[in-house]
Amino acid sequence: MRANALDELSWRGLVALSTDEEALRASLAAGPVTYYCGFDPTAPSLHIGNLVQLLTMRRLQDFGHKPIALVGGATGLIGDPRMSGERVLNDHDTVAAWVARIRNQVERFLSFDGDNAAVVVNNLDWTSPMSAINFLRDVGKHFRVNRMLAKEAVSARLGSEAGISFTEFSYQLLQGMDFYQLYRRYGCTLQTGGSDQWGNLTAGADLTHRVEGISLHVLATPLITKADGTKFGKTEGGAIWLDPEMTSPYAFYQFWLNAEDAKVADYLKIFTFRSRDEIAVLEEATRDRPAQREAQRALAEDVTALVHGEEPMQRVRAASQALVDSGDLPAPPNSTLKVSG
């Protein structure tokens, strides 16, 4: 089964970039690989962009590999540079509270049983004890500023009036140290993440190669888009969150139910665990009977059940159908319909 892990990810449209795809394929085939993905607590909840990474982690785990989910108590205090400008720094207590919330979300998607049981770590554990002098000597010494400047968000900010602070510029060093520390502590040899994070993802592989002389693997998933090429996962109300208090299960269900015909098969591959045959049947239904929206209903039911549980999914499905069937049915309260907080 392990030999097919990369093939499965490729079929589902989850491979955009890799440091060395053939070497990674061989590594996955040879035996259990320990891999990690990081989640920064820059908000009280993860969103459906993060869900791509969580489900990618679970797919690799289902093929026998061992996941490490990193919740960034240290990197969350800094924040990855954004194209739009400098982040507002959150205080330590806020970030610690968000770490706990996000850890609970992450744990719902991974298995903590068996030989390849998941591990959840916090990078504050190895970052906090390190002095500034040791950080600069042991980590900063191995980074080249010219490569750091090439990162898209950094170069864009350098050309703006606001510029970029040294704090956010140093984010790459912190994330690079994470991969190195996880290699040393857990034998972690693969990092996964979004393709928009490629510079940060490869920073740790570069650092480990410079210090240890070994090559680690990086695998990036593509940016998920709508049919017109725009970014997927936002509405007029904001991001689609995994926390039911920030995006209600009803609004969450409706978001998936409204998926475009042209993209619904792609979303089924990425966000559900349906088989190739099941998705092929739903693709055919979309072509032959588009008005029935069979694929959209399957997508909405599967993803809502994954994130919120089977019982909440059944309730919102019934409420959604009731609103369709009865034109005079009172609308659900605002708290049910709200999209984001």
Q: Are 87 and 79 in contact (CB under 8 A)?
A: yes
Q: What is the residue type of 330? A: P
Looking at residue 217, the DSSP 8-state letter turns out to be E
Strand arrangement, sheet containing 66-71: 17-18, 217-221, 190-194, 34-39, 66-71, 119-122
Q: Are 13 and 52 in contact (CB under 8 A)?
A: no
- Any binding-site annotation on 35? no
The region that residue 124 occupies, defined by phi over 0 for left and psi between -120 and 50 for alpha, beta otherwise, is alpha
Separation between Cα atoms, residue 71 and residue 95, nearest integer Å:
11
Secondary structure class of 151 (helix, strand, coil): coil
- Any binding-site annotation on 181? no
Where does residue 195 rank: exposed (0-12), middle (13-18), buried (19+ CB within 10 A)? middle
- Any binding-site annotation on 234? yes
Backbone angles phi, psi at 49, to 5 degrees: -65, -40
Is the Cα torsion angle 237, 239, 240, 246 positive or negative in sign? Answer: negative
Binding residues for ATP: 234
- Which residues fall in the annotated binding site for L-tyrosine? 36, 171, 175
Residue positions forming the annotated binding site: 36, 171, 175, 234
